[in-house]
Amino acid sequence: MRVVFMGTPDFAVPPLQALLRAGHEVVAVFTQPDKPRGRKMTITPPPVKVLAQAEGLRLFQPMTLGDGTAARQIGQLAPDAVAVAAYGKILPKGVLNIPKFGCINVHASLLPKYRGAAPVQAAILAGDARTGVTTMQMAEGLDTGDVLLQSSTPIFPEETAGDLTGRLSNLGADLLVRTLRMAEEGLLQPVPQNGEESSYAARITRKMSPIDWNRPARQIHDQVRGLFPWPEASTVFRGRGLKICGSRVAEKAASGRPGMIFSENDAFLVVCGGGTALEVLDVQPEGGKKMRGSDFLRGHPAQGVVLPG
């Protein structure tokens, strides 16, 4: 099958690799423009561009899809399908109508749940036990198209958003190849989404980072893992920012004011709402390096200190 692939971040790399392994003719790759990254704001190509160049694939990086240029380019390529995975732009009608088998998107949730930009983080932040991936026939709305295939997986109790994204990416890669095969064979049975069951996963921002220690430890733990590796959950320790990079829910109940630090067997523990406690496994002080929570406490004795929030 002649395929145009559209994707940008690490999540999109395994689906593109899977298309190539399956023998599809990837006639072009569309990805976002290079952007400044890191503290030095170095101009950096997106991961999909790196792979496309390594494979010698034709590459496009349009600033916009709204001026009709991309639609003309895709039309000239005459693809049988356009495969999309975390591209980062909404496809206009002029693109959606080009390929014979339409535009097929790999989305990291079990639609209609968690439409939008951050479905992986949303599932963890909500404390969900399961999630999955969906291949969808793209329509003009945001993640509103008919469901083609789905694959479900558990969310492990200590799994971070970064870990889960990697697993779902590989799961989505296999599902995409299966979807294209079934499309060729005429075996797909698209199922319209029930809009009344939909939910929206808004883009993750730094405003989500501050921890409210009045919440139960389980919810705070979900916040820590749901915001890792970016932007990470955070608190304030003696007037300076402190990122909480890893945690687990303590087995024992705790007494005291929410936010109060205490230690047992060298563990960094914080009282949370409802008499629960969170063990802080890894931290990163403002301007410093990531370290074990126990090591941080040894250098910063804090028994009885109350964290704000």
DSSP state of 26: E
pTM score of the predicted model: 0.95
Q: What is the pLDDT of residues 69-98, one digit of tens each?
A: 999 999 999 999 999 999 999 999 999 999
Does the pLDDT at position 39 exceed 80? no
pLDDT over 70 percentage in the chain: 100
- The whole-angstrom separation of Cα 188 and Cα 184 is 9
- Kindly report, residue by residue over 226-277, the tens digit of the pLDDT: 999 999 999 999 999 999 999 999 998 899 999 999 999 899 999 999 999 9
| Helix extents (H) in 126-247 | 161-184, 217-226
Q: What is the pLDDT of residues 111-163, one digit of tens each?
A: 999 999 999 999 999 999 999 999 999 998 899 999 999 999 999 999 999 99
Mean pLDDT of 296-308: 93
Instruction: Give the pLDDT band (50/70/90) at residue 40.
Output: confident
Instruction: Say which DSSP state 206 is in.
Output: G
Q: What is the pLDDT of residues 215-234, one digit of tens each?
A: 999 999 999 999 999 999 99
pLDDT of residue 252: 86
Mean pLDDT over 290-303 rounds to 94
DSSP lists the bridge partners of residue 44 as: 35
pLDDT greater than 80 at residue 11:
yes
Provide the pLDDT for residue 108.
Answer: 98
Contact 32, 88 (CB under 8 A): yes
- Of 302, 258, 305, which Cα lies nearest the Cα of 277? 258
Q: What is the mean pLDDT of the chain?
A: 96
pLDDT at 210: 98
Q: How many CA atoms lie within 13 A of 205 on its CB side?
A: 3
Give me the pLDDT at residue 6, please.
Answer: 98
pLDDT value, residue 5: 98
What is the mean predicted confidence (pLDDT) over 203-215? 98
Percent of the chain with pLDDT over 90: 94
Mean pLDDT value across residues 94-108: 97
Do 102 and 74 meet the contact criterion of CB atoms below 8 Å apart? no
Please report the pLDDT score of residue 38 as a whole number. Answer: 78
- Between CA 61 and CA 70, with CA 67 as vertex, the angle to 5 degrees is 40
Q: What is the predicted pLDDT for the residue at 78?
A: 97
The full set of domains in the chain, from first to last, is 2-201 (3.40.50.170), 206-299 (3.10.25.10)
